[in-house]
Amino acid sequence: MASKPLTCLLTGFDAFGEHLSNPSQTLVNTFPDMVKVQPGGRLQTERVIHIRKLILPTEGVAGWKKLQKNLNDLTSENEKAIVIMTGFASKREYLSVERFALNCRDYRIADNSGAQPLDKPIDKNADDLLRTKIDLIAMNKTLTAAGYAFEISNHAGTFVCNELYFRALNYAAINRQLKAVLFIHLPEPAAFVESLKKSRKKTLSVQAKKATTAAKQMVMLTDAVVAVISCMAGKK
């Protein structure tokens, strides 16, 4: 008998700043509707993860309003769920998972609504920082062994990505249906594929060398995020 299905809310952002597109938006829009995790480790039977997809505006206020509504809808169904938020970091080469979110709004540029708060708390009643419940060291070990380019970052900056991550972690602290929340900063798909050409897994390195189109590069980035979801869902 298969393990009880799990829901994953997968979020991305629309384009912002100088960027004409956002890889996190493309990833979410093209992501599969379902992921199957095969038995292994503590997972004794196959588990099905249903994917809910959400594109957030790159705006602190409107972004949280939309995310909060979807979190409310998710938790009202009385199902266990995980949340994986993705954003774009143009100067990175690897999947970059964020350990902490800071209670600070200090936007380096204006968000898409034109707002640019400087050195303001996100929530005056909350802690200075919040930490994901995910064991990132164990995840790093698992995904690195699988051949993926992966790194742990200590915080998600002080822009909209960080603000919504902080709010989602704060929300999860009092809504136990959410098993875990994690933020992943994505590189440009082409940069990610370039890093995979040096993967210890020959199948990945060969695939990376053949991924010469944007569509193929996005497939490889998607596969890596599927691996993250499988790693999270494999924990009871």
Confidence at residue 54, expressed as pLDDT on a 0 to 100 scale = 98
Orientation angle between helical segments 136-145 and 214-233, nearest 10 degrees: 130
Domains along the sequence of the chain with CATH: 6-189+221-233 (3.40.630.20)
Alpha-carbon distance values, 37 to 7, 65, 165, 211 (Å):
13, 32, 25, 25
Here the tokens at position 95 are 């999947």
Q: pLDDT by residue for the chain (236 residues), tens digit each? A: 456 678 999 999 999 988 888 999 999 999 999 998 875 555 557 789 999 999 999 999 999 999 999 999 998 876 789 999 999 998 888 999 999 999 999 999 999 999 999 999 999 999 999 999 999 999 999 999 999 988 999 999 999 999 999 999 999 999 988 999 999 999 999 999 999 999 999 999 999 999 999 999 999 999 999 999 998 876 64
Confidence at residue 1, expressed as pLDDT on a 0 to 100 scale = 45
Tell me, what amino acid is at 25?
Q
Cα–Cα nearest to 101, from 173, 51, 4: 173
Phi, psi of 187 (to 5 degrees): -85, 175
